[in-house]
Structure 1
Amino acid sequence: MIEGRYELLEPIGRGGMGEVWKAHDRRLRRFVAVKGLLDRNAMTAGTQAAAMQRARREAEAIAKIEHPNVVTVHDQVETDNQVWIVMKLLEARSLADLLRSERVLAIPRAADIGLQILQGLRAVHAASVVHRDVKPANVLVREDGTAILVDFGIATFEGAAQVTRSGSVIGTPPYLAPELFAPGSPGPTPASDLWALGVTLYEMAEGEAPFAGGEVWEVQENIRQSPDPVLRYAGPLAPVIQGLLFPDPRERLDAATAEAMLREVLGAPLARNATATGAATHALTAVSEPAPDPEPLGPPVAAPRAADGHQARRRKRPWLKAATAVVCVALLGTAGWLAAKGVSDDKTGTSGSTTAGSGGGSTGTEKWKATNPLLKIGVKDDQPGLSKYDRKTKTYAGYDIDLAYAIAGHLGYDRDEVAFTTVPTDYRSTALRTKGVDLVIASYSITPERKSASPGGDSVDFAGPYYEASRSFLVRQKSSKYTINDSSDLRRLGVEVCTARDSTYETELPKRGFTMTESQPNTYQDCLDQLLDVTSDVYAVASDDIILAGYEKANPGKVRRLENIQGAEGYGVAMRPGSPGLKTEVCSALRKILAGKVWEGLYEKNLSALMDNRTPPGRPDLTECEGY
């Protein structure tokens, strides 16, 4: 029993850096995965304190990563000689097991899994963490196709020592990037994680590792001798794999271009996401020097050189033509739209006119688009009616999505020049700060706290509101323990209420006397899952009425909404502070959308059925657009 709460039941995994147990969370009455970060058998008295400090720091860093393709961390617990991370228990098989049974995967499936791993890695790198052990064994694949990156046992930070005292790199030999062994190497970086992703993609497509060898020196020698592994079955994945497996990290594919190329393989509408050719794996923050790493794998190996004796970076890049083509498609798409500007978009009822809107000084919607041929928008993927992702069609649908297209049309973008990215509630501001997205349209409530974060925090700017939602609760249709008729019963009974982390409800409801779950998840969907679990102590989910209406419609007979409570949530279009030109254009677009019948049409199409076919609520006032 850990901290009187987590009961270890059975080991489910063990490696050189620790152990993973299936455990029971007695407080929330759910099963979780609990991982000890330290291999206590490898610790000596002299290294115990330093190792504990490093594990503690890593645990805190990993807990900050919030992304659908990265394992969810619930808690961190420290005992006398161990640092434990409590994570979501995933019913899934590893990609390694999948490859053992199927050997190779169909190209679309391999590209989809690779894309999800890459998206998870970008969130990891944005949190100033390098995974260091990306491989099929550390990727779980659920039955619905969701791929989740796990096992951060040897994760580290840029600037941290990458070698042991004996001077040897740790990690899994077939996945170690060649630059890790070059004299003066800075150690693991986001680029070395991308190399490991390239190896993983190769295995999925070709059924074997690109560079054979059980020891570090064997693998590195094979890279030096044959830097271009044969690709027989990869087909359209070949340029991506070649780009990720380029020995020189400076000329290796960056994350943004790799993602664009993977989307191109899948035929997804975001395929033009390669317009930014600079590195998209965000710069990391150096931290204090950690304790030396245990378990050396072998002696350092010289950096690979091409057959002509020049550094590997001088080698031809066969993938570059395909990457450039992706960029060119985006630019040509931009040119085509600009040539056809002013033509009505029948799907949204908006116009691509470049005339400046009211309330601002914009001279035309090309202003933002001139330097941003692709409009990147962060959205939710689990809110029926508002914004829902369909894994079969790989498309988003809902009110927020249609509104995003309408805004984009006024900014001069065609529909295929809009890229959607899922952003969990507590990752929205980070996605803006790191420039992963340009706008967030994700039921983002406008609050003074979000507009004026503390120094060093992630403040955002808003245009809007474009919708006013009421506050409400969702409860089980039937409960054998409590009778809940209205919100006052929740307060009186002191039952646990779940809401999304960093939502307005997390701080507001305790002030009103509601009892909250001890640890809030990062999505409302996670709260709904707990509510539907009859063994859970969660008896209510707090959110906006429109979000809860979608969940109620999707789970007939299982849950019901209570009456609305005092307060409203004004949804805004969020952007980075200091973007007055973009805000002017967005405000102009919102004015046109709200002034005409487009707004009513969006409501009727997406939300009226959820709200019992009621007429649209009153149009909100664009208070955040005054002066723009």
Structure 2
Amino acid sequence: MHNDDGINGAGGGADGHPEDRPPVPHTVIEGRYELLEPIGSGGMGEVWKAHDRRLRRFVAVKGLLDRRAMTPDTQKAAMQRARREAEALAKIEHQNVVTVHDQIETADQVWIVMKLLEGRSLADLLSRDRVLGVPRAAEIGLQMAQGLRAVHEASVLHRDVKPGNVLVRDGGQVVLVDFGIATFEGADRVTRHGGIIGTPPYLAPELFAPAAPGPTSASDLWALGVTLYEMVEGRLPFGGNEVWEVQANIQQSPDPVLRYAGPLGPVIQGLLTTDPDRRPDAAGAEEMLRDVLADPGRPTPARAATPAPAPPPTARPASPASGSASPDSEPVPAATAAAPAASSSGAVPSGAVPSGAVSSGAVPSEPSPVASGGGRGRLSGWKVAAAAACVVLLAGGGWLVSRGDSGGKQDDASGQQGGGAAGGDAEQAWEQWKSARKRLTVGAKEDQPGLSFYDKDTGGWSGFDVDIAYALAGKLGYDKSQVDFYGVTTANRASKLKNGEVDLVVASYSMTPEREKRDGISFVGPYYKAGSSLLVRKNSAKYDLGEAVDVKRNQVEVCTARDSTYADRLEEDGYTTGKWQPDTYKECVERLLDKRSSVYAVASDDVLLAGYAQNDPAHLKLLPSGAGTEPYGVAMRKDDPLLKSKVCSGLKEILAGKEWAEMYMKDLSPLTGRKTAPSRPELRPCSAE
């Protein structure tokens, strides 16, 4: 964070403005590391951004939390943990593991000096996006596995692998962080308050067996499996806040339902095998994840509206019970488990194998025997099972194959190409398309008042984009109860389309030829034309910003969403922008409202910014609109000409009737102040290419 005048975390002045606050002296460790501002904290320490005065670089420095409140015994234990973390990290040099520069011990503190990494945690990404596409999840999982391989080869155990301890940088690099409870192979069990150290939903079941030797590398791989599941399914595989709740859920339901995992299903199932000896090691997981990413035409599952019910226990092939099995159920090797019943659309939940395929011998009923001496021997059995599972799913007709670069191949069940209907009957082809998709999934933004907004309290969506999407769904033959909205951002909406996570995107998506070519998508529209504007602080103590020219003249920092049409245009137009732009306009507005930030303006569409200004009129002010317009289009995959044709005719009907004006007056008139609806935008030609 940056203060208006470069003051970091200054104390309060007479009127509360940071400009009037005197600077506070910074703590300097060993005359070298100047602590500037806290950038993260957890149960094991607080991390500061610091300046290395000797080498003139910024670093991250981690120290213990609340050491003054510790008793002598707890302080001693905390010091030992900090020394162990530094020692563990110093053993490892890998791009997917945080780098340690130095360790300093003072009278009552251990400081760990690390490379300063910009990015956000995987937990933050999941909090924002809820789920990730299979390719993105597989890429993150692959880098996590690579990092764990380096960790384990150094005989170190992380013991707290979870999204909060995984940093995802802007360029895509994934880094394992927070080794505060790391230990070494063969070390004694370490407990806290009588229990196992770690985060309950990510703890492997073998850690709680009475005669268990303690944590092993396999325990870290279990946590990787939980994290992969959470990324693609949007929830934890085994719920519960307490250790006993999580472990009871593992015992009662050792094979959590997979709906959206696709080719990641067998990988996740392998990692979530309750017997640690049957789990792939880090190298094995790495190889399996590479296989998932190797084929750009990898299958992705059809969506079911709700999880399909599991079959009766008699349909499940038996396997030797593990130490964590409950008396009422027998755990099954995950890659061989029978699938839940197919949904009404004929889709098989991802990662599961139809029970008939198992009984016919398509997938072995047991994994390969475990080779003595380690996880590499476990790999081959899981690779065979994973490959067989994918083959059976494809052969069974439960998959819809989707390729973003298919060059005109249609991904619907009809098997048509290039827009030609199967058997020459377009309506029959459309009915086949719909039968494969009982529900329509629409990508929309969650944080744009008036345009598209998700209310977390009620679970409801509202706004002009949302109403357009509902109206369009009606023209396609779906009622409101059959429409699912999925939160997207400016930065990820194209990938959500290409990954098959959404069918359409209606998210203030400015339609440009460059985007169609770059993102591999098609637009239908425009359904609205917005102007451009700037949002500023209403009462700035430092600058008087009444017009766009004031923002440019004062060279104040302007924020916009990454990958927006404004990202490149601002600098070309002479505005000052920051080095890093966030994924959403909401984050820009949060920076604008933070008086410690150097952001003084947000650039975007006038109607979009008007929603934020109306929500906080005491602090935000919308400047007059500038030149140019942003035409909003409905986006879809380029390889789906049938859908594009239906969207084109549906939007044409909406613009021609009364619906459009009614939606405008309901959603946008309160923002624009217009008493009547403007003229409807003219729909561009949208033939099914």
TM-score with structure 2 setting the length: 0.55
Query: Larger radius of gyration, structure 1 or 2?
Result: 2
Aligned to 1:12: 41
* 2:426 paired with 1:363: yes
Q: 1:188 to 1:575 in 2, by over 3 A?
A: farther
Report the RMSD for the aligned CA atoms in angstroms.
5.7
Partners of 2:516 and 2:95 in 1: how far apart? 35
Partners of 2:237 and 2:688 in 1: how far apart? 51
Deviation of residue 429 (structure 1)? 1.0
Q: 1:20 to 1:427 in 2, by over 3 A?
A: farther
Give yes or no for contact 1:475–1:559 (8 Å, CA) kept in 2.
yes
User: What are the equivalent positions in structure 2 for 1:459-538 lying under 5 Å apart?
Assistant: 459-538=520-599
* 2:464 paired with 1:399: yes
2:130 corresponds, among 119, 122, 129, to 119
2:164 corresponds, among 129, 135, 150, to 150
Deviation of residue 497 (structure 1)? 0.8
Deviation of residue 523 (structure 1)? 0.9
* 2:603 paired with 1:583: no
* 2:269 paired with 1:249: yes
Partners of 2:119 and 2:554 in 1: how far apart? 29
Aligned to 2:305: 272
Partner SS state of residue 522, structure 1: coil
Q: 1:561 to 1:433 in 2, by over 3 A?
A: same
**Cα deviation code 1:468-487 (max 9, x no counterpart):** 11111111222221122211
Deviation of residue 198 (structure 1)? 7.8
Partner SS state of residue 570, structure 1: strand
Q: 1:510 to 1:305 in 2, by over 3 A?
A: same
1:549 corresponds, among 586, 589, 610, to 610
Give yes or no for contact 1:21–1:34 (8 Å, CA) kept in 2.
yes
Partners of 2:36 and 2:432 in 1: how far apart? 58
Q: 1:536 to 1:157 in 2, by over 3 A?
A: closer
Give yes or no for contact 2:530–2:630 (8 Å, CA) kept in 1.
yes
Give the letter aligned to residue 575 of structure 1: M
Aligned to 1:21: 47
Give yes or no for contact 1:379–1:442 (8 Å, CA) kept in 2.
yes
Q: 1:490 to 1:182 in 2, by over 3 A?
A: closer
Deviation of residue 166 (structure 1)? 6.0
Partner SS state of residue 671, structure 2: coil
Give yes or no for contact 1:34–1:87 (8 Å, CA) kept in 2.
no
Deviation of residue 12 (structure 1)? 2.9
2:621 corresponds, among 544, 560, 569, to 560
Task: State percent identity of aligned pairs.
Answer: 35
Partners of 2:446 and 2:159 in 1: how far apart? 26
Partner SS state of residue 471, structure 2: helix
Q: 1:189 to 1:41 in 2, by over 3 A?
A: closer
Higher mean Cα deviation, 186-195 or 466-475? 186-195
User: What are the equivalent positions in structure 2 for 1:334-373 lying under 5 Å apart?
Assistant: 363-364=426-427, 365-373=430-438
Q: 1:367 to 1:166 in 2, by over 3 A?
A: same
Q: 1:9 to 1:407 in 2, by over 3 A?
A: closer
Give yes or no for contact 2:531–2:628 (8 Å, CA) kept in 1.
yes
* 2:241 paired with 1:208: no
Aligned to 1:54: 96
Gap runs ≥5 in structure 1: 26-32, 58-79, 95-112, 140-148, 213-221, 231-237, 254-269, 278-300, 331-358
**Cα deviation code 1:373-429 (max 9, x no counterpart):** 111111011111110111221110011111101111111111111110111110111
Partners of 1:166 and 1:547 in 2: how far apart? 54
Q: 1:575 to 1:495 in 2, by over 3 A?
A: same
Partners of 1:23 and 1:186 in 2: how far apart? 28
Q: 1:565 to 1:195 in 2, by over 3 A?
A: closer
1:414 corresponds, among 479, 483, 507, to 479
Gap runs ≥5 in structure 2: 1-27, 52-58, 64-80, 100-111, 149-157, 177-181, 191-196, 208-214, 274-302, 311-320, 350-418
Give the letter aligned to residue 615 of structure 2: A
Give the letter aligned to residue 493 of structure 1: N
Partners of 2:61 and 2:452 in 1: how far apart? 34
Deviation of residue 566 (structure 1)? 1.7
Q: 1:507 to 1:4 in 2, by over 3 A?
A: farther
Partners of 1:486 and 1:157 in 2: how far apart? 40
Aligned to 1:350: none
Partners of 1:250 and 1:452 in 2: how far apart? 39
Q: 1:461 to 1:42 in 2, by over 3 A?
A: same
**Cα deviation code 1:297-337 (max 9, x no counterpart):** xxxx989789899872499989947x969999x9xxxxxxx
Give the letter aligned to residue 413 of structure 1: Y
Deviation of residue 611 (structure 1)? 0.7
Give yes or no for contact 1:55–1:83 (8 Å, CA) kept in 2.
no
Aligned to 1:292: none
Give the letter aligned to residue 240 of structure 2: E
Q: Which has the higher contact order (CA 8 A, sep 6+)?
A: 1
Partner SS state of residue 602, structure 2: strand
**Cα deviation code 1:215-241 (max 9, x no counterpart):** xxxxxxx97xxx3279xxxxxxx9979
Give yes or no for contact 2:36–2:50 (8 Å, CA) kept in 1.
yes
Give yes or no for contact 1:11–1:21 (8 Å, CA) kept in 2.
yes
Partner SS state of residue 93, structure 2: helix
Partners of 2:309 and 2:443 in 1: how far apart? 17
Aligned to 1:101: none
Give the letter aligned to residue 82 of structure 1: M
Give yes or no for contact 1:432–1:575 (8 Å, CA) kept in 2.
yes
* 2:574 paired with 1:574: no
Q: 1:44 to 1:486 in 2, by over 3 A?
A: same
